[in-house]
Amino acid sequence: MSPTQQLLQSADLISQGAEAAIYKAYLRQLPTSGQAKNVGSDSPCHEVLEPVLLKYRFHKRYRHPSLDTSLTRQRIAGESRALMRCMKSGVNVPGIRMVDVNEGVLGIEWIEGKSVRQLLPGGAELEDIDELEEMDEVEDTDATDALVEYGVSRDALMDMIGVEIAKMHSSDVIHGDLTTSNMMLKEKTRDLILIDFGLAYYSTLVEDKAVDLYVLERAFASTHPDSEPLFSGVLAAYEKRMGKNWVPIKRRLDDVRLRGRKRSMVG
């Protein structure tokens, strides 16, 4: 059994989707000299356990084995490259801790915090209108309390989102799945972290950046009530960060919105 398989066996399953399973595991690391002193002079080499998130792209039996292996390697490598490119450009993303393309495992920094979806009101998908209204009141209070706890206002949160997306697009990385579930506010530092780059790719095209923004706009509209002022705050921060590069993206975003409305009307 490989070290990666042993690590998966000892890890805790967090969630599982159609493409990948998410685990929380711990990697052993030697402490720094300062940490060793805290442990005690008689045991300077005590190991430090670092929590990591493991994304395991398990084998798909419905695919030919060679095709499955090839696709898994491509996607693990692609996600790793996107994260590396973002890190080099100063985008707040989780750090990479391990990559095993043969086993289909990517290990990244474990982020303690809450997703933006949890920090904003909305997200209920209930058919009963009365129950929905009651749930909205509870969620609105919970979200407000969470933001107060973090010491961050909604406007500041939207500003952080716009800045991080602009930094990402300036490095020509397209996220591919921008939703408020794929953004986290880090507990200790209050940094906004972009996560889940499984569909990310490299592109210099204005069209791709506009579509990325449109996907996020639709995510806001479908998940959070009264989302228009929230997303406007995101775009204002994005525009400021992008500078002159914003103009062609804005034009293309308007075109993408128009195409989206036409598809909705046609059904």
- The residues annotated as belonging to the active site are 177
How far apart are alpha carbons 199 and 183 in whole angstroms? 15
- Distance linking the first and last C-alpha atoms of the chain: 51
Contacts of 146 (CB under 8 A, 6+ apart): 114, 118, 119
| Strand-pair partners of 107 | 54, 98
Phi first, then psi, for residue 134 (nearest 5°) are: -65, -40
CA–CA distances in Å: residue 267 to residues 98, 258, 262, 264: 44, 14, 8, 5
CA–CA distances in Å: residue 258 to residues 117, 209, 231, 251: 26, 16, 17, 11
Collapsing DSSP to helix, strand or coil, 56 comes out as strand
How far apart are alpha carbons 253 and 244 in whole angstroms? 15
Residue type, 148: V
Cβ-in-10-Å burial (0-12, 13-18, 19+) of 260 comes to middle
Of 94, 216, 97, nearest to 165 by C-alpha is 216
| 52 neighbors 108 (Cβ within 8 angstroms) | yes
